[in-house]
Amino acid sequence: MEQSNFIHSLRNKRIKIKVIESKLPNGRAFRREVVEHPGAVVILPILDDRVILIRQFRTAVNSWVHELPAGTLDKLDETPEDCAKRELREETGFIAGKIKKLFKLYTSPGFCTEVIYAFLAKDLRRGISSPEETEFIQMLEVSLSEAIGLVLKDPVLDAKTALTLLYYERQIK
């Protein structure tokens, strides 16, 4: 595929929206809006065979959502693993003794570059959470089956959480 030509963009704190002109493999030209995202992580914390799940109010959907701890890579040089450790600590207070990358996924590759790296966190020790001032989070400790049930029955399904829990249940456990 031929290199895309940049036309213009809009940027905020976390994302950039670009309009590009590109060509398909058959030579047909087109314009597309692309959301550039720095990437994110989702963490599956396991504590004594229990899943640490959060219930968080999400302004974008104006609803409470059951999900795993997660967050955006904030610093230019922050690795996904460092981000996973930071987000786990910030949102739950837990510090992982072991952290393992499970997989990565594109959230919406039709218009967005966001890639989410899924991690498994074990050997957890309790610490103090420090959520961002715009985050309102309630923490739950539940069995894997309860976590999957809560997520799948939630009126607002969080895809990264559902996929991570089901991947763990099918591939790891």
Strands (DSSP E) contained in 59-143 are: 63-67, 70-72, 95-106, 115-125, 137-142
Give CA–CA dist 142/144, Å, rounded: 7
**Length of the chain in terms of residues written:** 173
Q: Are 154 and 61 in contact (CB under 8 A)?
A: no
Dihedral in degrees, nearest 10, Cα atoms 135, 44, 55, 52: -110
DSSP single-letter state for residue 112: B
Look at phi and psi of residue 153 and say left if phi exceeds 0, alpha if psi is from -120 to 50, else beta.
Answer: alpha
133 is catalytic: yes
Q: Are 119 and 100 in contact (CB under 8 A)?
A: yes
Among 133, 135, 141, 169, the one annotated catalytic: 133
Positions annotated as catalytic residues are: 133
